[in-house]
Structure 1
């Protein structure tokens, strides 16, 4: 419409959308509530994978083998995540972000709710573990499409110069989901009349409770409308029938860089949640551990071999579950604070510069595991060191996780942004999160309870991320309305047309 045309002229062309139709509050709430629910569901499983599932679904008679089996199923979801990224990314880049976000949330919610209804090994044998694996794969499949959609809703609706800040709101779902999930588990654990009741019924409550949260999340997301960024791309004819193929042809370098940029974040994330919970609550001496394992075996009706248990035993810190989870929740508060703080900083100085400094700090942090996590003569001193470790670790987690909501989507044009960022994010989950719990437990056991090899592993992954960041370019000022029809793609299409003549 020209300056001389009246806005009410019926013959004038319809004006193109130039601003997001979603209000700031709606954008923030929709991107935050969905990821909060998704991470709540994932944390609920992660907690049960340490406390409950080794006993109820993997009663091997060996403490280490049962824990590794439980973590293997936990990690299996990471394998399903790239598949979810491809499927949800395809629909997100071809049909829009809104419907895809609703579908991913619904899939995650149903799978989580059904986990709360599963029979155990005592009731149906190893078929119980198979059902758990299937539902865990469904969780991973759904989360594969959730994160990128939420990040795109936030950043594609962000005001100029505030993409990183808006991108922190879906990231904030991780610490909030952790606090809610572990808070529910902690309350149930404290209120449970007996350990037997907790093993039979109490652990199911957090999974069943997720249904309430899913309903709230669906209500919020159904009120969203598509961002002007995606609408403009559609109007320009930039939408591709096969965005995955387009991304692999024209943005393969960005997908590789994004995968390794996210790697250290994922490893740190699961070490600070899963590994520390295992290490912190595992008994510090054989006698205590053997008595607890025997009681758990009797409660689940399984045989117990004390000699086999003693041969496979390696020590932890011996904190009670309520005490250690409370310490973790204190640390996660810093996770949330630094997630929010990282956004304005990344908008001011750039995502790459901030992440280079934070990744260097993660590398150094990995070298301090023995300093913070070895038992001391004074239990109070041990507790103080472990609490400091959790605060530092989660602080770094917030500082590295916050900018990811902006930097990964910014690597890609609009027509492959959902697919490209989702694939990078979730392939990194295989290289980082899927194997991190398994590698950490194996290194911990091989070192007879020493945590330092786990820290070295974190530092090594940090080096890989640092290299990826040094190779990459700053994305702070990229054109987010780039629909993906640039010279490189046009040249490829022209070559295809010529070849077909």
Structure 2
């Protein structure tokens, strides 16, 4: 009697003694940690540095919005990155493509640390910053789906969500490293985001340190990934002649429903995270109404400490839902979590009331948001790859993940800032609720993928390369 595809996967994984599971875990997690570190140091600098050095004209809100616009530019590049890297990931393999995406993002981040400012070269400075931000987006567009496939396509049967949660831990790890380093530097150099001194050591050269240090992390990541081998699922698909000539055309032809569902399944996750990180940092450290602003007036370093504490709860939530998704299924785990996010959105007007704000109140708000983030983010690197067949899995999961980044993350800080300034902070929560409602509907439509085989895809014969 022939063996089930998932049993074959288990045997193939066990046979690969040259690539122990621990190395796969490290390779998938360290890569995404580096990528998210690179991405988050830009997000932090977009609030505390770039408005002063790259967009100095106009009032403070205008400069902040311009800086957040370049922050959002990377999300426009991410779907393009998923197409480019997805093409090669589905054509030549996961390993080589993961190396390419890591280099793309790492080099762009390092170059940002070397850029001249507006005061030195004028408009060339923000143009170069935007270009490097675009390159960051290209790299991350190919990184996440490759790391997710590395984890899922080598996982044991019934343990895919648990295996796939390791690259998801890269998000809180990268966030912690990026913001922890910024906190150390700002405290050491005495930077006050509410009253910045353009001639201070931090704004003169200190802000460049986190960007330049990314080179060390990239070298480590490359060393680990170059020691990997191709995933057994992809290798067998190649042996069966299932590679397609044009993964992009094939995925839109055969899996367009999965693309739509996957995109909206990710929408609430992205909206929640960038409200809880980028937007809330600008709102929390912004000038109070009494000082002529619309923020809460927290000291920059104090707020970073609160965020760093909260992100630990994000990390703790990821393995919890990895286990729950394997035990009870992806849909029910995410449906309950998404409903909780919708309820959380209704609390913004009360919780973030400037008149009642305290450090403890803000910390509770951040912890609740980050716990929910861990719960919704944890299963995603299993869910999205499971929606697509092997020959277009890299492209399909990447496009869904990164298209959601445009709809949910690219515009989230900008829209949230505008809503809070124009109509009050409660409307930011309503915005989160609306995005979560769309995700809830997508989850109702999505099929359960817990028991789906990654090794027996439904193929379109017209797309198979003969």
Q: TM-score, normalised by structure 1?
A: 0.87
CA distance in 1, matches of 2:463, 2:49: 55
1:260 correspondence with 2:260: no
Q: CA deviation at 1:61?
A: 2.5
Name the residue aligned to 1:45: 42
Q: 1:401 Cα shift?
A: 0.3
Distance 1:103 1:483 in 2: 27
Q: How far, CA to CA, are the matches of 1:376 and 1:67 in structure 2?
A: 24
Which consecutive residues of structure 1, in runs of 5 or more, have no partner in the other structure?
3-15, 288-312
User: Partners in 1 of 2:448 and 2:305 — Cα distance?
Assistant: 38
- From 120, 127, 131, give the equivalent of 1:130: 127
Which of 101, 107, 120 is the matching residue for 2:104?
107
- Listed one character per residue, the Cα deviations across residues 373-403 of structure 1 (whole Å, up to 9, x for unaligned) are 11245x6xx2211111000000000000000
Alignment of 1:114-263 (within 5 A): 114-192=111-189, 195=197, 196-263=200-267
Distance 1:97 1:493, change over 3 A: closer
Residue 238 (structure 1) shift:
0.4
C-alpha deviations, 1:222-264, integer Å up to 9, x for none?
0110111001100000011111111111000000000000000
Determine whether 1:406 maps to 2:382: yes
1:481 aligned residue (433, 441, 455): 455
Q: How does 1:296-311 map to 2 (within 5 A)?
A: none
Q: Which residue of 403, 415, 431 maps to 2:391?
A: 415
What residue number does 1:19 align with? Answer: 13
- CA distance in 2 between counterparts of 1:17 and 1:406 reads 20
SS in 1 for 2:279: helix
Contact 2:349 / 2:427 at 8 angstroms: preserved in 1? no
Question: Who is 1:302 aligned against?
Answer: none
Cα distance in 2 for partners of 1:162, 1:244 equals 29
Deviation at residue 285 of structure 1 after TM alignment: 3.8
Query: 2:244 touches 2:463 (CA, 8 Å); kept in 1?
Result: no
Aligned to 2:442: 468
- Which shows bigger deviation, 395-404 or 474-483? 474-483
Deviation readout 1:83-125 (Å, 9 max, x if unpaired): 1000000000010000000000011110000000000000001
CA distance in 2, matches of 1:419, 1:203: 35
TM-score (norm 2): 0.94
Q: Offset at 1:19?
A: 2.7
Equivalence for 1:427: 403
Check if 1:351 corresponds to 2:330.
yes
Distance in 1, matches of 2:350 and 2:290, equals 23
The answer to whether 1:98 aligns with 2:102 is: no
Change (3 A) 1:236 1:329: same
Preserved CA contact (<8 Å) 1:238 1:484: no
Q: Whole-Å Cα distance in 2 between the matches of residues 493 and 368 of structure 1?
A: 49
For residue 389 of structure 1, give the secondary structure of its aligned residue in structure 2: helix
Task: Select the structure of larger CA radius of gyration.
Answer: 1
Q: How many residues of Structure 1 are paired with residues of Structure 2 in the alignment?
A: 448
RMSD: 1.8
Given the superposition, is the C-alpha separation of residues 493 and 233 from structure 1 closer, same or farther in structure 2, using an over 3 Å criterion?
closer
Asked if the contact 1:416–1:484 (Cα under 8 Å) also holds between the matched residues in 2, the reply is no
Q: Partners of 1:376 and 1:61 in 2: how far apart?
A: 29
Paired with 2:402 and 2:177, the residues of 1 have a C-alpha distance of 24
Q: Is the 8 A contact 1:17 1:232 kept in 2?
A: no
Question: 2:422 maps to what in 1?
Answer: 446
Superposed structure 1 runs of 4+ greater than 3 Å apart: none
Partner of 1:35: 32
1:65 equivalent among 62, 65, 76: 62
- Per-residue CA deviations over 1:18-38 (Å, capped at 9, x if unaligned) read 336231101100000000000
Deviation, structure 1 residue 445: 1.1
Q: Deviations over 1:150-177 (max 9, x none)?
A: 0000111111111001111111000000
Distance in 2 of aligned mates of 1:321 and 1:23: 43
Secondary structure of 2:310 counterpart: helix
Tell me whether 1:394 sits opposite 2:375 in the alignment: no
Q: Aligned equivalents of 1:17 and 1:267: distance in 2?
A: 39
Shift of 1:444: 1.1
Q: Say whether residues 1:76 and 2:73 are aligned partners.
A: yes
- Give the Cα separation in 2 of the matches to 1:156 and 1:415: 12
Q: Partners in 2 of 1:451 and 1:183 — Cα distance?
A: 27
Distance 2:323 2:417 in 1: 37
Query: Are the counterparts in 2 of residues 77 and 140 from structure 1 also a CA contact under 8 Å?
Result: yes
